[in-house]
């Protein structure tokens, strides 16, 4: 298959590209390589695919540039992962979220229509559950209380997908990822930030006094769910891709300490605006339709991340 991966230089996107190449698919990447976090990490991820992918450094909100790519390639399926990510950042920078996540996604849907394409798998987020108090979060639950602009844009993507399914017969699977972590991960997320701080003997801010709970989900499990979705996308649906076991932030921190053999200096902080105290995935629907369930536990996943981090950062370690 020939697959367009938007955000292919990103954390999740680059792992998806690797998996698609390994099974022999042809991949075209669109990524604007913006500096929300160090773009060198994005360049290094793409460097792994040298000569094996076609890469376009363009923005998904640029309709004309996007159209040129659709004119040059005939895609079988679209894997749309490009987005302005980050809950906290969206409180200070709302306009970029609308431009990238809403207008960018609309451009892709419109170009699919124009070029006769029907199949899209796109990234949604567990943050669409927002202020919901019922746990675990199930795809049948009402999701009309986004508590950050990021969450609202992801919900808009799901609604647009429904509209294009209804009007033009698109097949759309929206994947609600739950706190993804692993090698090549994002520097703005807890595992990367905490590991870096501990290795540099710096203190960390621990929100909600470490009592936050997350369905942390390892990257290889997420990639498996994305590939299953690309292979089976039919009709319109949304799925939770998240661990059905929640982990408390304090335990997550302990695992990092154990792995690095050092102890954090912690600044205990209240819950931040836009953040939710718990995310907890109900995966019954994902199991039923896709046959997906995660395999990697938190201890193993953190170990794998730290091994990668030390190697990538050139820190010598014994193992």
Is residue 31 a contact point for ligand NAD (CB under 6 A)? Answer: yes
Cα gap 252→211, rounded to integer Å: 11
Cα gap 125→233, rounded to integer Å: 18
Identify whether the C-beta of residue 241 lies closer than 8 Å to the C-beta of residue 286. Answer: yes
User: Does the footprint of ligand NAD cover residue 85 (CB under 6 A)?
Assistant: yes
The contact pattern for ligand NAD, residues 216-255, with x = CB under 6 A and - = no contact, is ----------------------------------------
In angstroms, give the least distance from the CB of 258 to ligand NAD: 23
In the complex, least distance from residue 98 CB atom to ligand NAD, rounded to whole angstroms: 11
| CB contact burial 103-131 (16+ within 10 A = b; e otherwise) | ebbbbbbebbeeeebbbbbbbbbbbbbbe
Nearer to ligand NAD, 61 or 75 (CB): 61
Pick the binder of ligand NAD from 180, 191, 206, 227 (CB under 6 A): 180
Secondary structure (3-state) at 154? helix
Nearer to ligand NAD, 170 or 181 (CB): 181
Three-class DSSP category at 79: strand
Q: Which helix (H) or strand (E) holds 77?
A: strand 77-80
Buried b / exposed e along 149-169 (16+ C-beta atoms within 10 A)? bbbbbbbbbbebbbebbeeee
In the set 129, 150, 218, 309, the catalytic residue is 150
- Binding-residue pattern over the window 97 to 116 for ligand NAD, x denoting contact by CB under 6 A: ---x---x------------
Residues 6+ apart with CB under 8 A from 67: 111, 114
If binding means CB under 6 A, how many residues of this protein chain bind ligand NAD? 28
Which of 28, 42, 156, 183 contacts ligand NAD by CB under 6 A? 42
In whole angstroms, how close is the CB of 216 to ligand NAD at the nearest point? 9
Place of tokens 């520097």: 187
Judged by CB under 6 A, the stretch of 53-61, 141-149, 164-172, 246-254 that binds ligand NAD is 53-61
Whichever of 180 and 247 has its CB closer to ligand NAD, that residue is 180
- Pick the stretch among 56-64, 228-236, 282-290, 311-319 that binds ligand NAD (CB under 6 A): 56-64
For 195-250, give the DSSP string: HHHHHTT--EEEGGGGT-EE--EEHHHHHHHHHHHHHH--SEEEEEES-SS-EEHH
- Which range binds ligand NAD by CB under 6 A, 27-35, 229-237, 284-292, 295-303? 27-35
Shortest CA distance to 290 belongs to which of 245, 250, 235, 209?
235
**150 noted as active-site residue:** yes
Question: Taking CB under 6 A as the rule, does residue 139 contact ligand NAD?
Answer: no
Nearest CA-CA partner of 277 in 84, 163, 135? 135
Catalytic residues: 150
Binding site for ligand NAD (CB under 6 A): 7, 9-13, 30-34, 42, 59-61, 81-85, 100, 104, 123, 125, 177, 179-180, 186
């Amino acid at each position: 298959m020939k697959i367009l991966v938007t955000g292919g230089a990103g954390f999740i996107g680059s792992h998806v590209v690797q998996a698609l190449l390994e099974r022999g698919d042809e991949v075209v990447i669109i990524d604007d390589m913006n500096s929300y976090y160090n773009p060198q990490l994005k360049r290094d991820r793409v460097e792994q695919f040298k000569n094996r992918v076609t890469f376009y450094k363009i923005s998904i909100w640029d309709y004309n540039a996007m159209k040129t790519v659709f004119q040059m390639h005939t895609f079988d399926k679209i894997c749309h992962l490009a987005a302005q990510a980050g809950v906290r950042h969206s409180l200070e920078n709302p306009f970029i979220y609308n431009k990238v996540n809403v207008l960018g996604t609309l451009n892709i849907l419109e170009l699919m229509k124009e070029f006769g394409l029907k199949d899209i798998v796109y990234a949604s987020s567990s943050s669409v559950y927002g202020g919901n108090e019922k746990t675990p979060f199930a795809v049948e639950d009402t999701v009309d209380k986004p508590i950050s602009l990021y969450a609202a844009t992801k919900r808009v993507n799901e609604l647009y997908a429904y509209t294009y399914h209804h009007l033009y017969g698109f097949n759309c699977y929206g994947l609600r990822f739950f706190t993804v972590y692993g090698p090549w991960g994002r520097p703005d997320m807890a595992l990367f930030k905490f590991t870096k701080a501990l290795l540099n003997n710096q203190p960390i801010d621990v929100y909600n006094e470490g009592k936050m709970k997350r369905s942390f989900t390892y990257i290889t499990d997420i990639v498996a769910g994305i590939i299953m979705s690309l292979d089976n996308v039919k009709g319109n649906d949304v799925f939770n891709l998240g661990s059905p076991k929640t982990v408390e932030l304090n335990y997550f921190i302990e695992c990092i300490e154990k792995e690095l053999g050092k102890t954090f200096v912690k600044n205990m902080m209240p819950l931040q605006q836009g953040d939710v105290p718990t995310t907890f995935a109900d995966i019954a629907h994902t199991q039923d339709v896709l046959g997906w369930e995660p395999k990697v536990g938190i201890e193993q996943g953190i170990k794998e991340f730290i091994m990668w981090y030390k190697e990538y950062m050139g820190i010598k370690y014994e193992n």
